[in-house]
Structures are given as C-alpha cells and as structure tokens.
Amino acid sequence: MGIIGYMLEKNANKLIKLISELDEFKGRWFFLQNIHSGRLPALYEQAVLRSVAAMDAFDNFRVTDSLKQGRLEAMAAVFDKNNDSSFEIIDELLVKHIHSALFKYSLEDQVHSGKYKTMDVNIDGVDKDGRLVGNVLDSVSPSETPAKMLEFIELTNNAFNEGHYHPLIIISLFVVNFLSIQPFQKGNIPVALLAASYMLDRKGYGFTRYASLEKIVSSNLENFYYSILKSQKRESANDVLFWIVYFIKCLVQIKNEVLNKLDKQLDTHVLNPLSQRILELMDKHDKINITMLQTLTKANRNTLKIRLRELVRGNFITQYGKAKATWYCKAAL
C-alpha cells in the first residue's frame, strides 16, 4: 500500500467514524430539540455572542455593537431562509446577503458591503499567541471572482443534487473553496462559516446553530490556517482529506458543546436560586466580578462568595485572577 495509501486509509477511516457520530446525533436531535425547546433560545443567544467575540480574530475585526447587530441579522437571513423549498441549496444572492447584513451597521465597511472585492486580498494568518505568520491564503484575482463564484456555487448545488457525496463532505469543501476564492474584501471567514451553518441546518444538522463555529475556529487559528493551506497545495489526495477531517472535527466539537450545555442547563434546576441568577447574569456579561454581582443581585457579599465557590467547583463558571483582581466567566465547554 505504501505510506501515502496508509495515510489515506487512516484519514478515511477517521472521517467515516466522525460522520457516523454526527449522523447518529442528527437522528437524536429531532427528539432533543422538542424536549429542550424552552432552553434553545438562550443557547442561540449565547452562540451569537460567542461568535461576535471570536470575530476579532478574523480580518482585524473590531468587536462593536454594530457588528453584533449585523451578525444577528446575518444569522436571521441564514436561518429564516431555511423555510425556502427551492431546488438550490446555496445561491450567490444568499452569500452576498449574508455579507451585506454582517456589515450593515458598520459605516467604514459600507463601501464594500455585499459586493465582491475590487482589490487583491491577502490573508495574514496568526498563531495561537496572536503573532502574524505571514500570508497563508492565496486567492483569485478580482476580475476572476464573479465567474469563479458562479461556477463554484453551481458545482456545490450539483454535488448536493447528485447525491454521490455525503452532505458534510460537500459543505466542508464549500468552505475551503470559498476561502480559496476570497470573494469579498473583508469578512470572508465569517461569511463562509455562516453559509456553512445555513447548509448544515438545511441538511438536518440544526444543532450547529446553538454553538459557535467561529469560536471553535478562532480558538486554534494555527490549525485552521494550516489545514486550508495544506488543502490549497493539494500535493496529494490526503491534503484535501486533511481539511475535511479538520472541519468535521469542528462539527463534532459543536455537537459535544450543545449536548454539554443542555446537560448543564438541566443541572441548574437543582441549584440555589442565587446561583441560577449568577449564571443568568454571566450569559449577559463576558466577565464579571463580585462587586458587580453584589450590585446586580443585592445579595450579601459573603453569600455570593459561597455561591461562586460552589459554581467553580461544579465547573459552571471559571475563576481568573486573585484577591481583589478576581473575576469570573461562564466555563468553556
């Protein structure tokens, strides 16, 4: 078989296992979303907030209220369209609409909102410590972009309609090819991931809207850029497979996060009312300290300390800093 054949088989087996895991959960999700229907809106809101917070890792975004509002409208554009029974799974109009909604409230970005790039786009990657690692993604020229996008979107829809490949493989290839084209001047990664979320939702993987794909990607940008770059080089068939495995692992991580969040929400029903109130406040604040909690809850400071210690021990929240510099946030799942 040789080393290349061995690596292909190894990654292919891994891919089959990952897809089977997601498909099994997809079947369970139909029942889970009915059981937990009252809790899902809160999970959706958390996912939006985490996605917005994670976007500062891409294209030098500055996280603002306008970006949050744009993100909300972009997600609404994506998931409201899922009632559409059109033959096409993805279309150029939706891609441009997502980009337009994302930058709708950003005055500095109005000039290119919803429009394909007019200048070359070079993406400088960063490692996990935020250090620039140079240009990591090659892209097509502005003049080639409209034709490439039409061709690429048509190929994606044809792949879905023909049914020769699993939808998760088609969606993962959509993302890497979209990022190889880099059709917009700014915001290509968030748009690609939102478009992927739309297709996932339409293909029955609706649970993916309740955790942040952007957060997962931004938490390990080094692997993200490396996987894309490896796919772009395509020195062997295994290079593209490497990206597909990476992307589908991200989806498995989303599945695990959603499941853990639902389990934790069930656990909160046995918590003290003050502890539940603390968790509710942490959904609204990225980080919080005891002085803020005392102001917001009007509770006794010593009682708050006790409840905070309980929540830390129960892995509901994470503590940072010491003494007066101590602050807390929701535990990462």
Q: Is 146 helix (H, G, I), strand (E, B) or coil?
A: helix
Amino acid at 246: Y
Per-residue pLDDT of the chain (333 residues), as tens digits, is 343 444 446 677 888 999 999 999 998 887 678 767 777 888 888 888 888 777 767 765 565 666 667 767 777 766 666 555 565 789 999 899 888 888 887 777 777 788 999 888 766 555 445 455 555 566 789 999 999 999 999 999 999 999 999 999 999 999 999 998 999 988 899 899 999 999 999 999 999 989 999 889 988 888 888 888 888 776 666 678 889 999 999 999 999 999 888 776 555 555 678 888 888 888 888 789 999 999 999 999 989 998 898 888 766 788 888 888 899 988 754
Looking at the fold, whether 188 and 58 belong to one and the same domain comes out as: yes
Number of domains in the chain: 2
CATH number at residue 320: 1.10.10.10
CATH number at residue 56: 1.10.3290.10
Looking at the fold, whether 324 and 211 belong to one and the same domain comes out as: no
Sorted by sequence, the CB contacts under 8 Å of residue 102 that are 6+ apart come out as: 67, 70, 71, 73, 74, 113, 187, 190, 191, 194
Looking at the fold, whether 96 and 219 belong to one and the same domain comes out as: yes
Give the domain range for residue 33: 2-267
Looking at the fold, whether 14 and 50 belong to one and the same domain comes out as: yes
Looking at the fold, whether 17 and 78 belong to one and the same domain comes out as: yes
247 near 14, Cβ under 8 Å?
A: no
Looking at the fold, whether 176 and 291 belong to one and the same domain comes out as: no
- Nearest C-alpha neighbor of 257 from the set 51, 13, 38: 51
- Nearest C-alpha neighbor of 307 from the set 328, 333, 286, 283: 328
Which residue spans within the chain are E strands per DSSP?
A: 123-126, 132-137, 317-320, 327-330
Looking at the fold, whether 263 and 290 belong to one and the same domain comes out as: no
**pTM score:** 0.73
Looking at the fold, whether 50 and 182 belong to one and the same domain comes out as: yes
